[in-house]
């Protein structure tokens, strides 16, 4: 009890210190502004609240969030125009940030601090956080993150955590192909050394029966089960195809796994001086290299009667196997449904899945696998854009990690350092989620996770509830205290400047509680806050004299509300 | 032996179709009126310690008689521990064969030799008794994803090696038995390591606590009698009132409300938790077990007559530096177990609590030059006042070049199924023989209905 009390007192103390500082003239533009003209007011061309809400809804699904003034500008564009501007932006890659951290380390900037190895880990994490929090191509960053939850690798394998380029390079690959073609994505994932290490097809060698050595089947299984076609044959709308006895039809069997395992032999780390079997000097910066001497040379019988002839080079084999998976009719509905779940709704209708799968199969120009067209079709589908109806099942529980990132971007996280050097530990401790840190290749949650009770009874799924337990559900409001009340948005390692949020315009706006709630409702809940609840909050918040504490309390309430956590 | 690994591994993959029947059978589990442990008052707890990553158990429990130490030394080569450093165990049933414990586990050796703990030899995931000939012929039915961390660490928790499942056998016990605890929102399954498969049921989830303070989390200020506390409580409650109906929002609201209430109930109960005289080491395992002991001391306040506890200790995947790493980590386990025993004795609860270890697998007997790779069967510790201590249960394999159990590279197949190991624990916990297959869906492949405890771990 004592510790909790002191925490609250500490929180209040932090808040009062903050208020003191604001009143003391440290901030610069802190004079009480006229009530009529606080900063987050509409730009000259008037935009209705309904238009802002609609833009907010799409942008919060499509991206890691934008600030209120940017939202007002975005609302002047059609959703298609805003999205197409985003889709046209060049990718912001992680490698450059990692290189900057390593060069700072080489210059000795961190010598006074922790062990080298921690800075290797920090560097990788900073690359992810700096880019995710600041990159202009936030839709691409968001889609890459969604892909990282389908094509899972995890830093719970020590080698991937410690080698600085292991996960950066992998994530850059997801960024590169996020709006490219699924076939290229699947091939590059397959040849990625991070994936090769994670699912053990790196240094997987041709059979040597005399020495009891046979190809490892790990990647062969998961590339089918998780990355391309799934366990059962699907109709275009995602429903399982059934045999004459009404049973689902397996997409592949053990023999298929064995044949694919032979395909994925002969790969090891690439780069100068590469040799098959190398474990001690991993090169994560380049794709795995094929060593034909270690590749299974025989014929392979793949799916749907497709035969890879004997005697080809290993890379030819891999390319044909990727083609075989890519052209399987399951891919559109299987991958399409999961991307819909990550971006829009846990329970898309079969018709929605079918519309997206048709775009996957043909982008309108005869091209299969165009992910840019798939992402566009997901976000602009009528089922996504039609008005939210609280009586329907539409929507998804937002992952705590996405909530956190969106919050920081919406309130303009910044640093006097050239890098916004968050490392993610604050949120990871509170909610046990961090990018590329899933407990297994099955991600943080399964696409078909269904919580017992009303959701299961209704035949629905809700994947993100798999990580919503008594600890994480309380961890969220408490970590918000640090961010919202304590002005501590993220931890940064020694050697980097701290990060800040910009609450000042909002504190000014808090003179008018009704206006404050209205603007926060647009920014955070896309106009979905229950009006009756808004009235309760306005009465409560009006009783708080201090404008800063009033705004911060309002923000905290929004962020823990069901209407925010589940965006429809 | 020369075995056909291709055929062998061929059968380690399941397509998922066999999974459907057993999942359907389990669907009725939550609604079933159970014959299991209906009587309150006789408190019992199971404490599961997961050594995540695959503990090299063949260097934890080592043969010390002349012929077997020689065989051990040959096969393990640079990984063999010197014979004179091993700590003698006085197992009564092993005849000429003698065994010693890792030199860093002196306190566990004491617990075993004093009868407070026992060991279980060569237990692992199986779907049928291991038959080398059937494996050779390709007719054996083998676990999904044998030798893979993700699958094996899950199967030790699900007791379902034939499929991938998110439901654990601790969760299935709670689905059956939660009702005998007071209905106060605090789950029978308490985790010191967050969400986990072992304690996930179909209708019951783990209640997650921390090792710090009294373990419970609550919203900052929510319980405070102050302006801030009142404001927090009123406004938080305002958004948790069940008035609006979107189904996902309702579920979030319900879980949020339950989490607040359960944490409040838990925190209140823990105000009466014992101030233990026993001192615990500072490491994570010791601190977690200290908190478990404190929760057990508050069992009456919690209204709990059955509880499981789950603690994970990671870092056992010793492909490298296995000797150095085990020398550092096994003493931590040994010391923590003794501290936990002392605390439970202090609470007069040692007879009511059984602690057991699980791990992904043991490791290859052969060396890879730096460490050992993924294996299969392994040895485990069971501790408790009800345990027939001082004994070695199961069959420690005879180590030999041509062992029929060696499926390649010194990977020894299990001679005892996890189902048999878990059956003893579940029956002791109060699962009835008629409910046993609801908790351990494959148990009837190994243990006939009505035949009682397969190992006799308890009360022998």
Q: A318-322, B171-175, B194-198: which range is least confident on average?
A: B194-198
Separation in Å, CA A388 to CA A72, A290, A352, A383, A528: 20, 51, 16, 9, 8
Q: What is the nearest CA distance from B187 to chain A, expressed in angstroms?
A: 10
Q: Shortest Cα distance from B103 to chain A (angstroms)?
A: 27
**Can you give the pTM of this predicted structure?**
0.80
As a whole number of angstroms, the distance between CA B48 and CA B157 comes to 10
Residue B370 contacts A where some CB pair is shorter than 8 Å: no
Question: Is B16–A250 a contact, with Cβ atoms under 8 angstroms apart?
Answer: yes
Residues β-bridged to residue B325: none
Q: Is the pLDDT of residue B243 over 80?
A: no
Residue B235 pLDDT > 70, yes or no? Answer: yes
Q: Give the residue carrying structure tokens 């045999």.
A: A243
Inter-chain residue contact B9 with A452, CB threshold 8 Å: no
pLDDT given at position B21: 26
Q: At what angle do helices B106-113 and B322-346 cross, to 10 degrees?
A: 50
pLDDT at A39: 54
B166 to A466: CB separation less than 8 angstroms, yes or no: yes
- Is B6 in the A-facing interface, judged by CB distances under 8 Å? yes
Give the distance, in angstroms, between the CA of residue B176 and the centroid of all CA atoms in the same chain. Answer: 19
Residue recorded with tokens 């059937």: B134
| B395 neighbors B413 (Cβ within 8 angstroms) | no
Cα separation, B121 vs B157, in Å, equals 18
Which of A226, A470, A471, A526 should one mutate to test binding to chain B, selecting the residue with the greatest count of B CBs within 10 A? A470
Residue B278 φ/ψ region, left for φ over 0, alpha for ψ in the -120 to 50 degree band, beta for the rest:
beta
d(Cα A505, Cα A38) in Å, to the nearest integer? 6
Q: Is A354 on the interface with B (CB under 8 A)?
A: no
B13 and A12 within 8 Å at the Cβ level: the answer is no
Cβ contact (<8 Å) for A530 and B244? Answer: yes
The number of helices, as runs of H, and strands, as runs of E, in chain A is 27, 8
Q: 3-class SS at A271?
A: coil
CA distances from A167 to A63, A92, A125, B318 (A): 21, 15, 9, 22
B11 part of contact set with chain A, CB < 8 Å? yes
H or E stretch at A170: helix A164-177
Give the per-residue pLDDT at A409.
98
What chain A residue is nearest to B10 in terms of C-alpha separation?
A254
A242 to chain B, any CB pair closer than 8 A? The answer is no
Give the span between the Cα atoms of A455 and A462, in whole angstroms.
Answer: 8
pLDDT in tens, B56-83: 999 999 999 999 999 999 999 999 999 9
pLDDT of residue A112: 76
* B419 min Cα distance to partner chain A (Å): 24
Measured between alpha carbons, how far is A128 from A130 in angstroms, rounded to an integer? 6
User: If DSSP codes are grouped into helix, strand and coil, which group holds residue A13?
Assistant: helix
Which residues in chain B have their CB less than 8 angstroms from residue A3's CB?
212-213
Q: What is the pLDDT of residues B159-168, one digit of tens each?
A: 999 877 778 9
Tokens in use for B299? 């069992």
* Edge-to-edge order in the sheet of strand B87-89: B61-63, B99-101, B87-89
Which chain B residue has its CA at the smallest distance from A452's CA?
B203
CA–CA separation, B422 and B172 (whole Å):
13
Which pLDDT belongs to residue B86? Answer: 98
Average pLDDT, chain B: 88
pLDDT value at position A157? 80
Say if residue B454's pLDDT is above 70: yes
Cβ contact, residue pair B15, A481, below 8 Å: no
- CA B285/CA B49 separation, integer angstroms: 9
Measure CB to CB from residue A470 to each of B9, B245, B263 and give the nearest one.
Answer: B263
Q: Which of residues 233-272 of B touch A (CB under 8 A)?
A: 234-236, 238-239, 243-256, 258-260, 262-263, 267, 271
State the pLDDT at residue B22: 29
- In chain B, how long is the greatest CA-to-CA distance? 76
User: Smallest Cβ distance to B224: which of A8, A441, A560?
Assistant: A8
Residues of B in contact with A537 (CB under 8 A): 235, 238
Q: B249 and A562 in contact by Cβ < 8 A?
A: yes
Among candidates B17, B149, B249 on the partner chain, residue whose Cβ is nearest the Cβ of A563: B249
Which spans in A440-542 are helix H? Answer: 454-457, 470-480, 504-509, 513-525, 531-542
Q: Indicate yes or no: CB of A473 within 8 angstroms of CB of B259.
A: yes
Is A446 near chain B, with CB under 8 Å? yes
- Specify the pLDDT at position A2: 28
What would the 3-class secondary structure string for A301-358 be? ECHHHCEECCCCCHHHHHHHHHHHHHCCCCHHHHHHHHHHHHHCCCCCCHHHHHHHHH
Nearest to A492 by CA among A171, A169, A119, A164: A119
At B314 the pLDDT is 87
Is the distance from CB of A456 to CB of A70 less than 8 angstroms?
Answer: no
- Residue in B10, B249, B251 nearest the CB of A258: B10
Q: Is A471 on the interface with B (CB under 8 A)?
A: yes
Note the pLDDT of residue A41: 53
Q: Nearest residue on chain A to B212, judged by CA atoms?
A: A3
For chain A, what is the largest distance between any 2 Cα atoms, rounded to a whole number of angstroms?
85
* Residue bearing the bigger pLDDT, A389 or B435: B435
Model confidence at B18: pLDDT above 50: no
Alpha helices in A191-294 (DSSP H): 193-198, 218-225, 254-263
What pLDDT, on the 0 to 100 scale, is given for residue B31? 35
CB atoms within 10 A of CB A90: 8
Cα(B218)–Cα(B209) distance, integer angstroms = 11
Distance separating alpha carbons of residues A4 and A359, to the nearest angstrom: 53
Q: Inter-chain contact A11–B220, Cβ cutoff 8 Å? A: yes
Q: Which residues contact A49 (CB under 8 A, 6 or more apart)?
A: A518, A522, A527
Measured between its terminal Cα atoms, the distance across chain A in Å is 38
Size of interface A-B (CB pairs under 8 A): 183
Q: Cβ(A56)–Cβ(A527) under 8 Å? A: yes
Report the complex ipTM: 0.90
Per-residue model confidence (pLDDT) at position A218: 81
Chain B: nearest CA to A457, how far in angstroms? Answer: 11
Neighbours of B148 (CB within 10 A): 25
Q: Cβ separation of A562 and B9 shorter than 8 Å?
A: no
- Report mean pLDDT in 10-residue bins for chain A, 568 residues: 33 34 30 46 72 97 98 96 98 95 88 73 93 98 98 89 93 98 98 93 83 73 94 96 91 89 96 92 96 96 97 97 98 98 98 98 98 98 92 93 98 97 93 90 86 84 90 93 95 93 98 97 96 94 95 97 96
User: Which residue on chain B is closest to A446 by alpha carbon?
Assistant: B166
Q: pLDDT higher for B72 or B40?
A: B72
Tokens of B400: 């030999």
- Shortest distance between the Cα of B314 and any Cα of chain A, in A, equals 10
- DSSP SS3 for B125: coil
Report pLDDT for A110.
84
Point out the residue among A257, A451, A466 whose CB comes nearest to the CB of B251: A451
Q: What is the pLDDT of residue A116?
A: 67
| Total residue length of chain A | 568
- Which pLDDT score is estimated for A211? 55
B100 - beta bridge partners?
Answer: B62, B88
* Cα separations in angstroms, A537 against A534, A544, A561, B326: 5, 11, 12, 57
Q: Does A536 touch chain B (CB under 8 A)?
A: yes
* Chain A touched by B1 (CB under 8 Å): no
């Amino acid at each position: 009890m004592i510790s909790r009390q002191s925490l609250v007192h500490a929180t209040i103390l932090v808040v009062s210190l903050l208020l003191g500082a604001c009143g003391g003239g440290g901030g610069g533009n802190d004079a009480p502004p006229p009530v009529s003209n606080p900063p987050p007011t509409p730009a000259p061309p008037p935009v209705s609240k309904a238009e802002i809400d609609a833009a907010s809804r799409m942008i919060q699904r499509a991206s890691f969030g934008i600030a209120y003034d940017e939202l007002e500008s975005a609302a002047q564009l059609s959703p298609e125009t805003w999205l197409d501007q985003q889709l046209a932006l060049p990718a912001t890659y992680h490698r450059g940030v990692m290189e900057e951290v390593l060069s700072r380390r080489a210059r000795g900037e961190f010598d006074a601090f922790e062990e080298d190895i921690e800075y290797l880990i920090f560097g990788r994490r900073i690359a992810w956080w700096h880019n995710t929090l600041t990159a202009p191509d936030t839709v691409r960053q968001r889609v890459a993150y969604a892909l990282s939850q389908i094509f899972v690798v995890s830093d719970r394998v020590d080698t991937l955590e410690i080698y600085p380029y292991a996960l950066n390079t992998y994530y850059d690959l997801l960024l590169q192909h996020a709006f490219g073609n699924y076939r290229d994505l699947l091939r590059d994932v397959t040849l990625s050394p991070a994936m090769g290490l994670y699912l053990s097809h790196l240094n997987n060698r041709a059979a040597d029966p005399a020495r009891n050595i046979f190809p490892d089947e790990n990647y062969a299984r998961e590339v089918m089960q998780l990355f391309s076609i799934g366990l059962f044959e699907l109709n275009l709308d995602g429903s399982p195809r059934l045999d004459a006895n009404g049973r689902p039809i397996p997409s592949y069997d053990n023999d298929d796994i064995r044949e694919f395992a032979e395909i994925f032999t002969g790969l090891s780390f690439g780069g100068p001086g590469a040799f098959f079997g190398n474990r001690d000097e991993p090169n994560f910066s380049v794709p795995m290299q094929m060593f034909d001497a270690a590749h299974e040379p025989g014929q392979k019988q793949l799916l749907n009667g497709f035969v890879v002839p004997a005697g080809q080079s290993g890379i030819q084999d891999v390319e044909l196997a990727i083609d075989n998976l890519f052209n399987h009719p399951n891919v559109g509905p299987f991958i399409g449904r999961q991307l819909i779940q990550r971006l829009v709704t846990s329970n898309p209708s079969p018709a929605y899945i079918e519309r997206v799968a048709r775009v996957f199969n043909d982008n309108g120009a005869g091209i299969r696998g165009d992910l840019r067209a798939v992402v566009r079709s997901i976000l602009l589908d009528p089922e996504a854009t039609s008005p939210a109806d609280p009586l329907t099942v539409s929507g998804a529980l937002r992952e705590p990690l996405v909530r956190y990132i969106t919050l920081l971007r919406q309130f303009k996280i910044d640093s006097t350092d050239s890098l916004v050097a968050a490392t993610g530990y604050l949120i990871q401790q509170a909610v046990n989620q961090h990018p590329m840190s899933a407990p297994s290749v099955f991600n943080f949650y399964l696409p078909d996770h269904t919580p017992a009770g009303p959701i299961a009874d209704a035949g629905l799924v809700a994947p993100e509830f798999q990580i919503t337990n008594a600890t994480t559900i309380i961890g969220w409001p408490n970590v918000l205290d640090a961010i919202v009340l304590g002005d501590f948005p993220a931890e940064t390692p020694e050697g980097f400047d701290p990060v800040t949020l910009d609450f000042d315009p909002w504190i000014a706006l808090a003179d008018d509680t009704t206006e404050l709630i209205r603007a926060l409702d647009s920014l955070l809940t896309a106009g979905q806050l229950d009006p009756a609840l808004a009235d309760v909050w306005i009465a409560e918040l009006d009783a708080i004299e201090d404008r800063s504490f009033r705004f911060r309390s309002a923000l905290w309430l929004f962020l823990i509300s069901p209407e925010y956590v589940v965006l429809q | 032996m020369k075995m056909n690994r291709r055929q062998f591994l061929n059968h380690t993959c399941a397509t998922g179709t066999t999974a459907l029947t057993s999942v359907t059978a389990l669907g009725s589990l939550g609604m079933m009126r159970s014959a299991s442990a209906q009587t309150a008052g006789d408190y019992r707890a199971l404490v599961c310690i997961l050594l995540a990553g695959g503990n090299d158990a063949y260097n934890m429990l080592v043969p010390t008689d002349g012929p077997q130490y020689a065989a051990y030394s040959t096969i393990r080569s640079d990984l063999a521990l010197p014979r004179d450093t091993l700590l003698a165990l006085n197992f009564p049933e092993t005849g000429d064969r003698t065994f010693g414990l890792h030199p860093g586990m002196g306190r566990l050796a004491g617990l075993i030799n004093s009868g407070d703990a026992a060991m279980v030899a060569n237990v692992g995931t199986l779907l049928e008794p291991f038959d080398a000939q059937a494996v050779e012929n390709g007719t054996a039915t083998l676990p999904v994803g044998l030798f893979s961390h993700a699958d094996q660490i899950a199967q030790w928790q699900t007791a379902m090696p034939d499929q991938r499942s998110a439901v654990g056998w601790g969760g299935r016990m709670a689905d059956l038995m939660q009702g005998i605890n007071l209905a106060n929102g605090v789950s029978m399954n308490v985790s010191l390591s967050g969400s986990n498969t072992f304690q996930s049921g179909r209708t019951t989830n783990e209640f997650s606590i921390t090792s710090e303070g009294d373990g419970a989390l609550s919203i900052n200020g929510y319980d405070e009698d102050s302006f801030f506390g009142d404001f927090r409580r009123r406004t938080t409650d305002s958004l948790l009132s069940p008035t609006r109906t979107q189904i996902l929002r309702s579920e979030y609201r319900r879980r949020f409300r339950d989490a607040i209430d359960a944490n409040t109930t838990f925190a209140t109960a823990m105000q009466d938790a014992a101030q233990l005289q026993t001192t615990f080491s500072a490491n994570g395992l010791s601190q977690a077990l200290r908190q478990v002991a404190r929760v057990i001391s508050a069992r009456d306040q919690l209204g709990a007559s059955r509880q499981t506890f789950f603690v994970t200790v990671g870092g056992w995947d010793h492909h490298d530096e296995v000797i150095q790493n085990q020398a550092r980590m096994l003493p931590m386990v040994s010391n923590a177990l003794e501290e936990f025993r002392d605390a439970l004795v202090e609470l007069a609860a040692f007879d009511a609590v059984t602690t057991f270890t699980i791990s992904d697998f043991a490791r290859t007997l052969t060396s890879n030059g730096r460490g050992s790779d993924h294996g299969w069967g392994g040895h485990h510790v069971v501790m408790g006042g009800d345990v027939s201590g001082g004994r070695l249960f199961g069959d420690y394999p005879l180590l030999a070049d041509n062992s029929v159990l060696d499926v390649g590279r010194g990977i020894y197949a299990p001679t005892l199924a996890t189902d048999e190991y878990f059956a003893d624990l579940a029956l002791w916990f109060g699962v009835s023989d008629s409910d046993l297959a609801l908790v351990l869906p494959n148990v009837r492949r190994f243990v006939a209905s009505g035949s009682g405890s397969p190992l006799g771990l308890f009360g022998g």
